[in-house]
């Protein structure tokens, strides 16, 4: 009951924090999705790019994105830009790797048919490779979305003046544990709803798999 009351009392502040967090998360997430899918399709269908980029990807992708937080804060002119950079790094790799794997696993008959039809590279990527890789792409986005919220929360612990992570840290510092727990529960609900929205989009995009 105490936590529930703290949640209701803090709801206006939590809603403002949500907007502040989304202003950082949405642009970084959107850019990571666009670049991760685009570069993944190219790397997965271009042997030269695959040979050039695969060693770097194997080296860089396992590095925990939280390592970059202090450096991003020190190098970037604003906290929003530094947090956005860390979120981008955390989200980009799972989307890129899953997209590239999806493009690489394209059945040979699809490639043969595209060659017979004389499809140009952009048309081939958009009409053949992208739809065939959607299942892999959404798997990458699901992982990336979870990473995005984790990176956002951790980054906000370092230097944010508002946001969901800052809310939890602030009341933890003041030992106001009901509000802290309320913030954690509220953040969990936001993440759950975001994952549900992504799942609905996935079902719409992959309607033929029903």
Q: What is the pLDDT of residues 133-152, one digit of tens each?
A: 999 999 999 999 998 998 88
| pLDDT value for 209 | 65
Structure tokens given for 124: 């081939």
CB 103 within 8 Å of CB 44 = yes
| pLDDT value for 128 | 86
Helices (H), the chain: 2-45, 47-60, 69-75, 79-104, 108-117, 121-124, 130-159, 164-173, 177-205
| pLDDT value for 137 | 94
CB 73 within 8 Å of CB 158 = yes
CATH numeric code, 2-209: 1.10.3720.10
Collect the ranges in the chain with pLDDT lower than 50.
Answer: none
pLDDT tens for each residue of 70-104: 888 788 888 888 888 889 998 999 999 999 999 88
Domain boundaries in the chain?
2-209
CB 128 within 8 Å of CB 70 = no
| pLDDT value for 195 | 93
d(CA 30, CA 40): 15
| Angle formed by the axes of helices 79-104 and 47-60, nearest 10° | 130
DSSP-based three-state secondary structure for 140: helix
């Amino acid at each position: 009951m105490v936590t529930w009351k703290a949640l209701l009392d803090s709801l206006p502040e939590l809603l403002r924090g949500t907007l502040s967090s989304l202003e950082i998360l949405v642009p970084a997430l959107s850019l990571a999705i666009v670049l991760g899918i685009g570069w993944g399709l190219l790397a997965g269908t271009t042997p030269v790019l695959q040979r050039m980029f695969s060693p770097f990807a194997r080296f860089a992708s396992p590095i925990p994105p939280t390592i970059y937080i202090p450096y991003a804060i020190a190098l970037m002119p604003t906290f929003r830009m530094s947090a956005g950079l860390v979120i981008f790094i955390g989200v980009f790799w799972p989307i890129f790797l899953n997209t590239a794997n999806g493009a690489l696993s394209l059945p040979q008959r699809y490639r043969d048919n595209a060659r017979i039809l004389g499809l140009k590279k952009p048309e081939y990527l958009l009409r053949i490779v992208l739809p065939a890789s959607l299942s892999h792409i959404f798997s990458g986005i699901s992982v990336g979305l979870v990473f995005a919220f984790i990176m956002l929360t951790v980054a906000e612990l370092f230097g944010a003046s508002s946001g969901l992570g800052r809310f939890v840290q602030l009341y933890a510092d003041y030992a106001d544990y009901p509000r802290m727990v309320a913030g954690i529960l509220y953040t969990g609900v936001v993440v759950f709803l975001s994952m549900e929205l992504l799942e609905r989009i996935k079902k719409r995009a992959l309607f033929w798999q029903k």
